[in-house]
Structure 1
Amino acid sequence: MVVPVWDWLRGRKPLVDAFFAAPVLFFALPGLVGDSYGIGRATYALMAVVLTAPLVLRRTFPRAVFAAVALISFVQCVLSVVPLLANVAVLMSLYTVAAGCSFRWGLAAVLSTEVGAAMATWRYPDGAADRKYTFVMLTAVVAGVWLLGLHMRTRRAYLRSVEERAERLERERDNEVKMAMAAERARIARELHDVVAHNVSVIVVQADGASYAIDTDVGLARQALDTISSTGRLALAEMRRLLGVLRENDDVGVFAPQPGVAQIDELVEQVRASGLPVTFEVDGTPAVMSEGRQLTVFRIVQEALTNTLKHGGPRAAVSIRLRYAGDSLEIRVDDDGRGAAAPDDGRGHGLAGMRERVTVYGGSVRAAPRPGGGFEVVARIPVHEEVGAA
């Protein structure tokens, strides 16, 4: 991508300032010819260079450059060195302060320049008429440069405000779009809940009726099974339609399979590779669980390990234990880190999300510092759906 020349120059202020200071020094060079204003060629050249050299940094350090040029001009006036063309540097630095600094600094700069104009008027012209004319002319030039700087300062402030307003409006528009998308997704989620709840209820009722009538009335049982089939197809079509709308607005792009209990080994290896010692063991016979329950188990372990990495400290170690006991699974993640002494910024939502996931499946979770130090997470989840609760 080609960078515009103007954007390239914006980041190189000394180069641009040197470009504008070069003509001042160039037009001052003819003074070296002849008597050099009666001060000698070496002194003239030195004064020209000393007055124009600070202009290279006039936008980088505007107040310092103005002070340096004004001080040099003051010494020049005290030593009765005649004004040179290079003294235009005072006006250039005055403009820079007025355009780039606050109003108070600009006012201080113009007053200082006006004092210098008064000193030059008193020092150099011979007659009273010449002094009056010179003072009025210098005052008009100084005031004009100062007003031009103020105008540019106001214009730049206006342009910045316009740009900020445009950016703010763009952000507000993006936020409105995101809010509208969130509201639409919430509506779709409610519709999805209604579709699933209604159709599943119909399927359950028809299945119960078919089980009762299958021995006494085969025709009625067949009719119930037909109803179950049609209702299931309708529910599946509605779910696909609604989920399709959700996925069209999703930023994920590729939908990979969700992790489960089998992927905990990979998670443990990843955490070990980061330098955290982890032990992992499984007690009992692993039960067959739905994908949603396995995802909940994986997320609980993942969140517990994340908390240890964030708050456990540099020498913490973690032990993970999955214990299958009857119809429930106990997940225990213990570490020997800081525990209650760990700092909490109050911005984490992992523990709250963990509780929400476990509550969905009728389980419980406890996450708290251990009395002897460290932190523990203990969760229990039923491995099978309770038909009565459903």
Structure 2
Amino acid sequence: MNVLNITDQLPLVCETPLDLHFLAINAQEAAAAFIAAGTAANTVRSYRSALAYWSAWLQLRYGQALGAAALPSTVAVQFVVDHLARPTDDGGWVHLLPPTIDAALVAARVKAKLGPLAYNTVSHRLAVLGKWHRINGWDSPTEAPALKTLLREARKALSRQGVSVRKKTAIALEPLQALLATCTDGVRGVRDRALLLTAWSGGGRRRSEVVGLQVCDVRRLNADTWLYALGTTKTDTGGLRREKPLRGPAAQALAAWLEVAPAESGPLFRRLYKGGKVGTQGLSADQVARIVQRRAQLAGLDGDWAAHSLRSGFVTEAGRQGVPLGEVMAMTEHRSVTTVMGYFQAGSLLSSQASQLLGPAVGATTSAEKI
């Protein structure tokens, strides 16, 4: 496929001035479609920035508004070659986004800096565009075979050049234990220990799900078991309450937190103030990520840590311990087997006999201990 000849349906203009007021309204209207479809609020916030970028790029590149009609697949292909850098024969890298448009996107504050975007960022923005088309009842341009081939080849090219598609480091059992060992700093440590164990042991909860938990969502069955209820989540927008178990250390940690921070209602995990005073306001999703990162730093762990590390780590550890995939997905509520399998298989292979045909080296540290 010659990616330089892909604009046969819409001409490139590259000279359209960017109307920031129109950009904001256009992106907001697009985000409203997700809200009307019942998409979780935290997800809509993530999608809104992607839609703002699409709106700005379309104005500048094609002189076209987002939402006027379904976009052809050639536009999605152009988006990829504009934003993904590819290696050249002379050892350099090139992408097709004109410098004037790049600068305008940065000036409009929809792009952080000049230059190409990461593969994960491009993939996310294409996914948002595809979902937005489906919500509007249009054929998605992201389903075109040419686009999927281009993305596959782009990923291979990046891999051959030593550029990996970044994933957050999974918090399997050993890193989790290291994080928990830092939770000795009074009330803050009690809260963080309960939060980490609830999110991890409770099925690898997303950060939006953690901060959305209310005191009334948890109930104690016995000294070793609590149940917590999920309502609306990223993949289940029906609002039907589903209870998940917290057993052993997770149940004990939650009991300890509610003992030092008793409440009849309100957010389960709340902000702390000077002197360890517990407030009434709940944590934000970003604060959950910062708690993970802070504890990893205190534990001296190398890696790219985030709130998602708890979710991927739960699945990885379940694979290591041979938990059936169906039981894992019942806890995590993943809808897509493809999404969960990467982490699950990585964990299961660590305990596979096929990886130990030569036997462990004397005095060696196993791969599982390094996760």
TM interval, shorter chain, is: under 0.3
Larger relative contact order (CA 8 Å, sep ≥ 6): 2
**Structure 1 or 2: larger helix share?**
1
State TM-score, norm by structure 2. 0.21
Pair member with larger Rg: 1
